[in-house]
Amino acid sequence: MTTPTPALNLAPRLLQEWRSHFARQRPAVAQVRNADVAELHIYGVIGSSWWEEGITAGGIKEKLEAFSGASRLNIFINSPGGSVYEADAIYSQLERWKGEKVAYIDGLAASAASYIALAADRVVTAKHGKWLIHNASTVVVDVFTAASLRTFAERTAGELDKYSASIAELYVAKTGKAAADVLAQMDRDELMTAQEALDFGLTDSIATFAEDNAPAAAPAEEASRASEAAALAVRARLDAFRATQSLRKPKTNAAPDRKAP
């Protein structure tokens, strides 16, 4: 009898469409932008299968080992999810990676990919980005007797409940929401917009990569701008006061001309 592999999956129709698309995408791609910043692209299905080579924990391990000298890791995500086994190991690796970690949701952070993003210190979602969180599910192809099916179904349901509960803990830790609220959202199994994800607490901000990395003004420059703005405000009030005083000043009549006798 084949033991099923629990997986976080989308509804069958959507999953089939997304798998067909992501199967044509390359697995995790690693790149070092400079000596201090490394980039990891998680574009595709989490875990391998008979049909495709997806994002695996072993592949992520190799990429992270190449980033040992970097102080920041940018994680770009566009994934419909996949194997919870692989996702758990990927999350653990990213969580213990030393250095600043920022997750950028470029397109979709669904299912198992949604909690991989939570291993980052900050999560930034593109304006058009989407999220989806839901309960663990599985697909089984096997031959059962009535008795073995009852036993198998009961055992598998219990295992899926355990996976869903452990994943819910990650969402609770990120969002600060009550477990009941998180579980209710997982039960709804609904796609969330970037704004809905922000309101729920899954993402820390909505921005493009460029917006999130725009250079901040130096403290001295900010102080100078504030001082200049204050001086302009004082000058404007002074000019307004002078104009008011000029209007209040009484006008004097000119003395009539007197002709000499």
pLDDT confidence of residue 48? 83
Annotation says 41 is catalytic: no
The structure tokens listed for 250 are: 């009484």
pLDDT confidence of residue 235? 81
CA distances from 229 to 60, 186, 222, 238, 240 (A): 50, 49, 11, 14, 17
pLDDT confidence of residue 231? 78
Distance between CA atoms of residues 97 and 64, nearest Å: 8
pLDDT confidence of residue 229? 78
Instruction: Give the pLDDT confidence of 92-132 residue by residue, as tens digits.
Output: 999 999 999 999 999 999 999 999 999 999 999 999 999 99
Domain ranges of the chain: 7-212, 217-247
* Helix or strand holding residue 61 (H, E): helix 57-65
Exposure letters 83-98 (e unless 16+ CB within 10 A, then b): bbbbbbbbbebbeebe
| Residue of 41, 83, 114, 134 with catalytic role | 134
Distance between CA atoms of residues 201 and 78, nearest Å: 19
- pTM value is 0.72
Q: Give the architecture (CATH level 2) of 7-212.
A: Alpha-Beta Complex (3.90)
Under-70 pLDDT residues of the chain: 1-34, 50, 217-224, 245-261
**One-letter amino acid of 65:** E
| Residue of 41, 79, 83, 111 with catalytic role | 111
Annotation says 134 is catalytic: yes
